[in-house]
């Protein structure tokens, strides 16, 4: 089975920091339109645009106060129509973020539910009575959410707690309520009718909760993050079946659910199995943290090291589990992760490791998604103070841990892992603010913008960006079948340093990538005229072994296999 979304290379746009088209310091739709030719030349066939709906932006747009309105910071509905037209002209498909799990606390439903005892919207959310012990009111249970807080927040006016798995400014919706479900289906239809090609569905794994709301183990812990209480639960699949029947199946659209780190391969198949799944793909986070950085507050930088073998095993696990049964996206990062060059690459070998990471990913099984700036080697921030962080999760984290850890330790951890790393301004040129905007902005630009920027990369034949163009071109044309239909086999799976694989269909292609900043010996599979792409100028062979230099990578076509 072949579908358009398998053949394209995707690109994620984080709209507030991609390009400011009207110079108010905020990225917008006009800015995206300005850069469509850039994306087309890069070879992109699909863009995923983060939420641009009306929002107080506590969580940068994932807190939506009106699902039908475009936030004025991003532009207007007319701008969206123009964007869709311009994308169509260039044969670029567009998917929007669709946030079905929660709203902003400034959504009129929620305001009404908190103001009026008899509000019909009360049942659109999850409200519970306080637990009263010795006359004191407590949250209904000990569950902790994803943003370092209790999942419960008290509303004095109605003497109830409401439920939220993300920020307290983002109350969860109650998918048990049929009227609410119909409202959300109408939202999806509205955007599909307008012409978007599908959705990336935010936090989709969490629509159903354990409605017993019993305390999580250990019972005596004040707050426990037990994601099983609100992830991949059976009732969710009833909702998704209905959503598919009532909406998705009626359109020629593509859908990707975000299931994060809580879904196994078996869970994923429930969502995306070709025969009886509900979407086309799911994003899991399994391959985003294989260097020990997640939760690494107590670790020194020297303890953060890519576990190349595990990384391969994880890609293999997903491939083995779903090849021929389903399709998946492949990506190194999105707006919730650190920059991949800082995570698995090395800024001292920016050019070599940037190319190597792109190549390693691009021909694996699935639709690749490049995150804005990855194609020029943008890297993590290096903030020296707490108030430089902008992300709600980072802010909550600082509040929670500042009395328990030294400031330097928290900064080290956040500079390594925080979501702010991926959210700095896109670096277009070496002018102030990296050419993202001509005005003051609440967003920050990475200090390295004078060197690392699109304009410089375009000028340099040997740049990461030009390497990306070549790779994407090859994936889109000559090696499309190998990329999309080919059988994946890892070479020397146990190797701790080198990520190497073949993909075989009509042709056989091979990727060899050294993930280390030192020389690594590897069996020599390389015939000089098999080399299609290489990030060094010559080859280093000794005693019939190839000596792979720091982050050296090869893309080969093995002739006559
Ligand atoms: C996942 C999104 O990617 C993230 O940025 C957001 O904070 C949460 N969902 C809540 O919407």
Tell me the percentage of the chain whose pLDDT exceeds 90. 97
Question: What digits encode the pLDDT tens for the residues 287-303?
Answer: 999 999 999 999 999 99
Whose Cα sits closest to atom 4 in ligand 1?
A: 336
Q: In angstroms, what CA-CA distances link 426 with 134, 311, 354, 533?
A: 54, 28, 16, 27
The verdict on whether 408 is a catalytic residue reads no
Does the active-site annotation cover 24?
Answer: no
Instruction: Determine the Cα–Cα distance for residues 366 and 316; give it in Å rounded to an integer.
Output: 12
Taking the CA of residue 62 as reference, the ligand 1 atom at the shortest distance is 11
pLDDT for residue 1 is more than 80: no
Q: What is the pLDDT of residue 2?
A: 56
Q: Confirm if 102 and 172 have CB atoms less than 8 A apart.
A: yes
Residue 117: per-residue pLDDT: 86
Grouping H, G, I as helix, E, B as strand and the rest as coil, residue 58 is coil
184-196 CB burial, b ≥16 within 10 A, e <16 = bbebbeebbeeeb
For a ligand 1 pocket test, name from 202, 256, 258, 335 the mutation site with the most ligand atoms within 8 angstroms of its C-beta: 202
In 146-275, the DSSP E strands lie at 152-155, 160-163, 198-202, 254-260
Confidence of residue 168 (pLDDT cuts 50, 70, 90): very high
- Taking residues 180-194, report their average pLDDT: 98
Q: How far is the CA of 410 from the centre of ligand 1 (A)?
A: 22
Degrees to nearest 5, angle at CA 377 with 538 and 429: 115
Choose one of 50, 56, 59, 102 to mutate for the ligand 1 pocket test, by most ligand atoms within 8 angstroms of C-beta.
59
Mean pLDDT of the chain: 97
How far away, in angstroms, is 310 Cα from ligand 1 center?
26
Each residue's pLDDT tens digit, 250-276: 999 999 999 987 789 999 999 999 999
Nearest atom in ligand 1 to the alpha carbon of residue 59 is 7
Distance from Cα 517 to the centre of ligand 1, integer Å = 33
Q: CA-CA-CA-CA torsion for 452, 456, 461, 466, nearest 10 degrees?
A: 60
Report pLDDT for 261: 73
Q: Model confidence over 224-254: pLDDT tens digits?
A: 999 999 999 999 999 999 999 999 999 999 9
* Nearest atom in ligand 1 to 102's CA: 11
CB 214 within 8 A of CB 141: yes
Condensed to tens digits (0 to 9), the pLDDT of residues 444-474 reads 999 999 999 999 999 999 999 999 999 999 9
Write down the pLDDT at residue 355: 99
Sheet holding 160-163, edge to edge: 127-128, 160-163, 152-155
pLDDT band of residue 136 (cuts 50, 70, 90) is very high
Whether residue 495 contacts residue 548, with contact meaning beta carbons closer than 8 Å, is answered with no
pLDDT reported for residue 561: 76
**Closest to 119 in 3D by CA, of 167, 168, 174:** 174
DSSP string, 99-142: E-SB--TTSHHHHHHHH-TT-GGGGGB-EEPPEEETTEEE-SS-
Contact 330, 368 (CB under 8 A): yes
Question: Atom 5 in ligand 1: which residue has the minimum CA distance?
Answer: 336
The pLDDT score that the predictor gives to residue 347 is 98
Q: What is the 3-state secondary structure (H, E, C) of 500-557?
A: EEEEECCCEEEEEEECCCCCEEEECCCCHHHEEEECCCCCCEECCEEEECCCCEEEEE
Reference 475, options 336, 334, 369; nearest CA is: 369
Distances (CA, A) of 78 to 64, 65, 311, 437, 555: 19, 20, 44, 22, 44
- What are 555's two structure tokens? 């893309």
Closest CA to 282 of 226, 228, 240: 240
Contacts of 386 (CB under 8 A, 6+ apart): 398, 402, 407, 410, 411
| 131 backbone dihedrals φ, ψ, rounded to 5° | -90, 125
Residue-level pLDDT at 148? 86
Catalytic residue among 28, 197, 202, 420: 202
Residue nearest to atom 3 of ligand 1 (CA): 336
pTM over 0.75: yes
- Rounded to the nearest angstrom, the distance between the alpha carbon of 166 and the centre of ligand 1 is 8
Q: Are 555 and 525 in contact (CB under 8 A)?
A: no
Residues with CB under 6 A from ligand 1: 59, 62, 99, 166, 202-203, 258, 335-336
- Which atom of ligand 1 lies closest to the CA of 336? 5
| CA 448 to ligand 1 centroid distance, Å | 27
Instruction: State residue 560's pLDDT score.
Output: 77
Distance CA 140, CA 425 (A): 41
How far is it, in rounded angstroms, from Cα 473 to Cα 515? Answer: 24
* 265 CA to centre of ligand 1 in angstroms: 21
Which atom of ligand 1 is nearest the CA belonging to 419? 5
Report d(CA 124, CA 101) in Å as an integer: 11
* Residue in 63, 97, 149, 258 annotated catalytic: 258
Cα 208 from chain centroid (whole Å): 22
Percent helix, strand, coil in the chain, to 5, is: 35, 20, 45
- The mean per-residue pLDDT over the stretch 198-212 comes to 97
Is there a cis peptide before residue 5, judged by omega within 30 degrees of 0? Answer: no
């Amino acid at each position: 089975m072949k579908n358009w979304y398998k053949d394209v290379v995707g690109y994620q746009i984080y709209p507030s920091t991609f390009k400011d088209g009207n110079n108010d310091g905020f990225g917008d739709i006009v800015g995206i339109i300005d850069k469509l030719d850039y994306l087309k030349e890069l070879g992109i066939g699909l863009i995923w645009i983060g939420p641009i709906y009306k929002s107080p932006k506590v969580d940068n747009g994932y807190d939506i106060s009106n699902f039908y309105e475009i936030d004025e910071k991003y532009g207007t509905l007319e701008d969206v129509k123009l964007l869709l037209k311009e994308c169509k002209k260039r044969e670029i498909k567009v998917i929007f973020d669709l946030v079905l799990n929660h709203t902003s606390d400034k959504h009129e439903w929620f305001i009404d539910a908190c103001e009026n005892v008899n509000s019909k919207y009360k049942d659109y959310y999850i409200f519970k009575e306080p637990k009263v012990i010795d006359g004191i009111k407590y949250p209904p249970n000990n569950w902790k959410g994803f943003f370092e807080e209790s999942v419960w927040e008290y509303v004095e006016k109605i003497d109830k707690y409401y439920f939220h798995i993300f920020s307290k400014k983002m109350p969860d919706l109650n998918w048990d309520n049929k009227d609410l479900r119909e409202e959300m289906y109408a939202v999806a239809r509205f955007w599909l009718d307008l012409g978007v090609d599908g959705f990336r569905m935010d936090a989709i794994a969490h629509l159903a909760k354990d409605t017993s709301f019993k305390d999580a183990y250990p019972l005596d812990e004040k707050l426990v993050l037990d994601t099983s209480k609100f992830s991949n639960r059976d009732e969710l699949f009833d909702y998704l079946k209905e959503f598919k029947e009532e909406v998705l199946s009626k359109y020629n659209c593509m859908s990707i659910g975000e299931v994060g780190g809580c879904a196994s391969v078996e869970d994923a198949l429930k969502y995306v199995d070709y025969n009886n799944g509900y979407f086309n793909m799911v994003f899991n986070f399994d391959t985003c943290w294989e260097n020990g950085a997640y939760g690494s507050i107590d670790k020194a930088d020297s303890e953060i090291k890519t576990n190349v073998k595990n990384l391969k095993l994880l890609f293999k696990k997903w491939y083995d589990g779903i090849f021929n049964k389903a399709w998946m996206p492949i990506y190194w990062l999105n707006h919730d992760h650190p920059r991949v060059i800082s995570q698995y690459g090395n800024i001292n070998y920016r050019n070599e490791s940037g190319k190597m990471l792109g190549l390693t990913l691009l021909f694996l099984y699935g639709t690749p998604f490049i995150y804005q700036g990855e194609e020029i080697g943008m890297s993590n921030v290096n903030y020296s103070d707490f108030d430089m962080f902008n992300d709600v999760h980072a802010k909550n984290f600082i509040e929670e841990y500042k009395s328990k850890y030294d400031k330097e330790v928290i900064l080290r951890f956040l500079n390594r892992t925080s979501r702010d790393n991926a959210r700095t301004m896109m670096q277009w040129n070496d002018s102030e603010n990296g050419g993202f905007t001509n005005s003051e902005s609440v967003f920050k630009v990475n200090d390295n913008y004078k060197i690392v920027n699109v304009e410089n990369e375009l000028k340099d034949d040997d740049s990461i960006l030009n390497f990306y163009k070549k790779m994407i071109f090859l994936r889109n044309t000559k090696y499309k079948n190998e990329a999309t239909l080919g059988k994946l086999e890892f070479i020397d799976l146990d190797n701790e340093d080198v990520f190497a694989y073949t993909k075989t269909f009509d042709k056989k292609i091979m990727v060899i990538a050294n993930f280390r900043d030192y020389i690594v010996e590897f069996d020599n599979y390389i015939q000089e005229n098999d080399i299609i792409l290489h990030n060094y100028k010559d080859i280093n062979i000794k005693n019939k072994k190839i000596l792979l230099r720091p982050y050296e990578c090869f893309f080969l076509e093995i002739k006559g296999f």
